[in-house]
Amino acid sequence: MERGRAYTRLNTLLQHLGGSSAGAVTAHPTSGAAKFQPQQFQYTRDNNVLSLEQRQFYEENGFLVIKNLVSDADIERFRVQFERICREEVKPLGLMLMRDVSIGKSEYVPCEKMVSKVQNFQEDKELFRYCTLPEILKYVECFTGPNIMAMHTMLINKPPDTGKKTSRHPLHQDLHYFPFRPSNNIVCAWTAMEHIDRKNGCLVVFPGTHKGTLKPHDYPQWDAISCHFAASDCKYIDVKGTSQEKIEKEIVDLTHKFYGLETGSLKNVWTWKGRLVKGERISL
């Protein structure tokens, strides 16, 4: 009896409020819920590592600064191994040493002051350890997902310029070198191995250029460790007839010159160089 009277009172009240009966009560979003729309992020994944502010910053600018991520002890180990390589105490398979073009062969002495760059250190266990550091991969996974390939390894050294301005490195877009997509699943981890500023050659980024198209790429007439990572389910593309075709020929020729490999295509070069560092190797 009491339940019947309560139902009648509720029904009367609802009719006063909007003409609905108790049997037709429906839920409506509040004004706040009606306006809420989850932000769609194009470059980062939902894994609770990056803050909302960090994700928004990367979305707009294309880079993040994570300070003190790699320990001083690890950086020192990488430095020691780099110096050993420069002194030719160790010669890892496939590693490419590059020196300042202004230094003549007669002036060359095996030491770190003569070497400007070490590339392709994927077969050097000590340097490649950088690409497998859990603290690095924790952030890489925010961009690639759980299946991660280390595609290109490099340690950059910047000795004092010889006076001929040959130590300068122009702004460029790394995607020109990569025959795989989507580009949203590619990211580089770059770690300074000493204090850097504008005076000694710090990394320079042009904010927002990750969202545009590839710009014309060419070479001018004139210490950090890094690795480019990609999701292992990225797909290779055919670069014939694109702005990357010129670079394909250059890299294929260099691979033949330094390693004696007849790769024939940019895809084959990266298939040879890539290393799985986490998860499962799918298509790269």
What was the pLDDT predicted at 166? 58
Q: Is 38's pLDDT higher than 60?
A: no
Kindly state whether residue 45 falls inside one of the protein's structural domains.
no
Kindly state whether residue 43 falls inside one of the protein's structural domains.
no
Kindly state whether residue 32 falls inside one of the protein's structural domains.
no
Kindly state whether residue 212 falls inside one of the protein's structural domains.
no
DSSP-assigned letter for residue 211 = G
pLDDT bin (cut points 50, 70, 90) of residue 205 is: confident
Q: Is 17's pLDDT higher than 60?
A: no
Helical spans, DSSP H, in 133-265: 134-144, 245-259
What was the pLDDT predicted at 162? 62
pTM of the predicted structure, to 2 decimals: 0.76
Helical spans, DSSP H, in 18-133: 31-35, 52-61, 72-86, 125-132
CATH of the domain at 113: 2.60.120.620
Kindly state whether residue 22 falls inside one of the protein's structural domains.
no
Kindly state whether residue 23 falls inside one of the protein's structural domains.
no
Which domain range does residue 222 map to? 52-205+217-278
Where is pLDDT greater, at 176 or 146?
Answer: 146
Kindly state whether residue 27 falls inside one of the protein's structural domains.
no
Kindly state whether residue 223 falls inside one of the protein's structural domains.
yes
Question: Which token pair is 67?
Answer: 């300070």
Question: How many domains in the chain?
Answer: 1
Strand positions, DSSP E, the chain? 96-99, 115-119, 148-156, 180-181, 186-192, 224-231, 235-236, 275-278
Residues in contact with 75: Cβ distance below 8 Å, sequence separation at least 6, in sequence order: 191, 193
